[in-house]
Amino acid sequence: MTMFGLALRALLFRGRTLAIAFLPLAIGIVAVIIRLAADPVDFDSAYATLGGNLLIGVVLSLVSLVIGVNAFDDEREGGTLPLLMSTSTPRWRIVGAKLAAAWITTVLVSLPAVVGIGVLGTGEELDTGKVWSSLLAATLLTAAAYTALFVLLSLVSGRGLFIGLAYVVIWEISLAGPVTALRNLSVAAYGRRVLGAPWAEDLVPFNIADVGVVVGGVVLAVAAAALGLLAVRRLPRIDAAAG
Amino acid sequence: MTSPTRPPAVLYDIRYSRFTGQLRPRVYAVLALARSSALGALGVRRSTGAKIWPFLLVVVAYAPAVVAVGIPLLVPDNDEFTEPLDFVSYYELLALIATPLLAYVATTIPSLLTRDRRDRVLTLYFSTALSAWEYVLGKVIAALLLILLVTLGPLLVLLIGGALVSDSPIDYVGDHAADLPKVVLAGVLLALFHAGWGLAIGSLTPRRVFAVGGYLGVMLVASTLGGAVASISNSDAFLAFVLPIVPIDMTASFLDTPEGNVTAPQGLLWAVWLVVVLGAAAVLWRRYRGGRES
């Protein structure tokens, strides 16, 4: 089995990962119920809240944190990291496989929420194609940037979980979201910029980074690639034997 | 060849012998477990890095109360703020610390149980003077103490600080004597709610990262969903699903609240609180009833 296959099996096909999927599933179900039962005039605010604030701001950040930190922590705690490091596999392939597996797992776990929110979004007077494409692009790019960040954090420090949690709760949720001046330093703000593509820039109903849609997407992709490269550079330097 | 400076060999008599120290009731074992668990969660007797996060959050939780107590001292002739409660009420203080409380509970409470499961030491615990129930009781006490530190503590700082900075402390104590049982009740309501949920999540997995994610995920997702559905349906009842503020809004029935403050109906809030606390108790019972690692 390839390195990627092993990494994906270790992350995705686990009971605890499936348990996490219950939250996005609940969000998806609530979104569909709102689509079916609520007054259409409320779809706009519901899509903004569930898509912009909940999916991009909370769900993707938390799922990426748990999955991303776990990618190498599982090996650390299981004592298999020294074994992995002693193989002749290039470091970039190890990190690349872990990153890709964590990214795919994050996207798949969040998928029920994405689908439900997409169904809700198509009830608005927005272009259906734009709603789905912006939602999927925002999910894929935001998950990539968050996952790369948290995988890197888990390689930089044994306390990657706490640092990542501080970043999500203090920076992303409490500071960068509400404070206009800090939005251009927030992963979620760029993700919301991509999600807000169906609206004119001044009509987007959630807080976004002060850039265009394409630039927002490029920033997320570049951030994910840069953080991934840093993780590749970091891996040979970690103390594999340390718990 | 032996060195002339080496001490002579000694044979120690290490045969089985009875314990000759003072025998204490079993409750001491429970309290010792609670104490060591609570101190461990705060990073005491661990590395400096382990202390930074919990103590940072403790400082953040106390900051509003300390500032409120300090203002009348720093600006003595201010007619608007003559006492700390003019600056921030007990209810507002609890609302202010809601976010740091979530982060604090997420990182300290589930790990009270996950660490022992991860290290597979439960069987070792249960082979000592501790039964499974006493183990759970010790962990519950530890969780309550940890959460009371950041819920009841700041409220008491506000209450006691008000008396200390008052021109007439005795009159102040007389005027606010009825506040003490109320703030204690508020602190206990919050502590039971978060301790129950945090420990229940922690009992379900040996991996801390999943317990932290599960606790925060449910709290934050329920908050946003509850708020969104309440807004769409124009029904305050759905605010009862904004879990982090459920125990805080419950205190609105006995603490002063800001004008125009909207909460879910009190009966519904108490029902949700009871479901969470009793549900958590049921999960703990299910996970530890056999007295073994499951």
Nearest CA in chain B to A55: B221
Min Cα distance A170 → chain B (Å) is 9
Q: Between A23, A50, A59, which is nearest B228 by CB?
A: A50
The number of C-alpha atoms within 13 Å of A231 and in the hemisphere containing its C-beta is: 31
Nearest CA in chain B to A73: B209
Residues of A in contact with B233 (CB under 8 A): 38
Please say whether the beta carbons of A58 and B221 come within 8 A.
yes
Q: What's the pLDDT score for residue B2? A: 53
Q: Between A26, A58, A170, which is nearest B220 by CB?
A: A58
Q: Examine the pLDDT at B140 and tell me if it is beyond 90.
A: yes
Q: Look up residue A151 and give its two tokens.
A: 């995988």
Chain A interface includes B210 (CB < 8 A): yes
Show the DSSP H helices in B119-265 as ranges: 122-126, 132-165, 169-176, 179-203, 208-233, 246-250
Q: What's the pLDDT score for residue A224? A: 95
State whether B210 and A19 contact (CB < 8 Å). Answer: yes
Chain A interface includes B103 (CB < 8 A): yes
Residues of A in contact with B220 (CB under 8 A): 58, 62, 173
Distances (CA, A) of A31 to A27, B90, B116: 6, 36, 38
In a domain, B5, yes or no: no
Residues of B in contact with A66 (CB under 8 A): 209-210, 212-213
pLDDT digits (tens, 9 = 90+) for B209-253: 889 988 998 998 888 888 888 888 888 888 898 999 999 999 988
Q: What's the pLDDT score for residue A60? A: 94
Alpha carbons B139 and B148: distance in angstroms, whole number: 14
Q: Between A59, A70, A169, which is nearest B221 by CB?
A: A59
Chain A interface includes B118 (CB < 8 A): yes
Q: What's the pLDDT score for residue B83? A: 82
Alpha carbons A237 and B149: distance in angstroms, whole number: 39
Chain A interface includes B63 (CB < 8 A): no
Q: Between A38, A46, A58, which is nearest B221 by CB?
A: A58
pLDDT digits (tens, 9 = 90+) for A32-84: 998 888 777 778 888 888 998 889 988 999 999 999 998 888 788 777 888 88
State whether B213 and A65 contact (CB < 8 Å). Answer: yes
**pTM across the whole model:** 0.83
The overall average pLDDT reported for chain B is 88
User: What does the pLDDT average to over B12-39?
Assistant: 87
Q: In terms of Cα–Cα distance, which of A188, A234, A159 is closest to A62?
A: A188
User: What does the pLDDT average to over B34-50?
Assistant: 90
User: What does the pLDDT average to over B54-62?
Assistant: 92
In a domain, B268, yes or no: yes
B17 vs A1, higher pLDDT: B17
Q: What's the pLDDT score for residue B145? A: 97
Q: What is the DSSP letter of A205?
A: S
Nearest CA in chain B to A48: B228
In a domain, B91, yes or no: yes
DSSP string, B84-146: HHHH--HHHHHHHTHHHHHHHHHHHSTHHHHHHHHTT-HHHHHTTT--HHHHHHHHHHHHHHH
Residue A164 exposed, middle or buried by CB count within 10 Å (0-12, 13-18, 19+): buried
Find tokens 């929110």 and name the residue: A117
- The distance of Cα B200 from the centroid of its chain, to the nearest Å, equals 14
Nearest CA in chain A to B227: A49
**Per-residue burial over A99-108, b = 16 or more CB atoms within 10 Å of its CB, e = otherwise:** bbbbbbbbbb
Alpha carbons B183 and B92: distance in angstroms, whole number: 12
Residue B243 exposed, middle or buried by CB count within 10 Å (0-12, 13-18, 19+): buried
Alpha carbons B60 and B102: distance in angstroms, whole number: 12
In a domain, B152, yes or no: yes
State whether B225 and A20 contact (CB < 8 Å). Answer: no
Q: Examine the pLDDT at B111 and tell me if it is beyond 70.
A: yes
User: 220-249 in B: which are within 8 Å (CB) of A?
Assistant: 220-221, 224-225, 227-229, 231-233
> What range does the domain containing B151 cover?
27-288
Q: Examine the pLDDT at B192 and tell me if it is beyond 90.
A: yes
Q: Look up residue A165 and give its two tokens.
A: 């949690």
Please say whether the beta carbons of A156 and A234 come within 8 A.
yes
In a domain, B83, yes or no: yes
Min Cα distance A179 → chain B (Å) is 16
State whether A26 and B221 contact (CB < 8 Å). Answer: yes
Alpha carbons A30 and B221: distance in angstroms, whole number: 11
Min Cα distance B18 → chain A (Å) is 38
Regions of chain A with pLDDT less than 50: 243
Please say whether the beta carbons of B155 and B90 come within 8 A.
yes
Min Cα distance B3 → chain A (Å) is 38
Residue A194 exposed, middle or buried by CB count within 10 Å (0-12, 13-18, 19+): buried
Confidence of residue B4 (pLDDT cuts 50, 70, 90): low
Residue A47 exposed, middle or buried by CB count within 10 Å (0-12, 13-18, 19+): buried
Q: What's the pLDDT score for residue B156? A: 95
pLDDT digits (tens, 9 = 90+) for B252-261: 888 887 777 7
State whether A38 and B225 contact (CB < 8 Å). Answer: no
ipTM higher than threshold 0.90: no
DSSP helix/strand/coil, B34: helix
In a domain, B117, yes or no: yes
Nearest CA in chain B to A39: B232
Q: Which are the contacts of B225, defined by CB distance < 8 A and separation ≥ 6?
A: A26, A27, A30, A50, A54, B241
Find tokens 């109906």 and name the residue: B265
Nearest CA in chain B to A166: B103
Domain count, chain B: 1
Q: In terms of Cα–Cα distance, which of A46, A57, A60 is closest to A108?
A: A60
In a domain, B129, yes or no: yes
What is the phi/psi pair of residue B44, to 5°?
-70, 140
In a domain, B114, yes or no: yes
Chain A to chain B Cβ contacts (< 8 Å): 93
Q: What is the DSSP letter of A182?
A: G
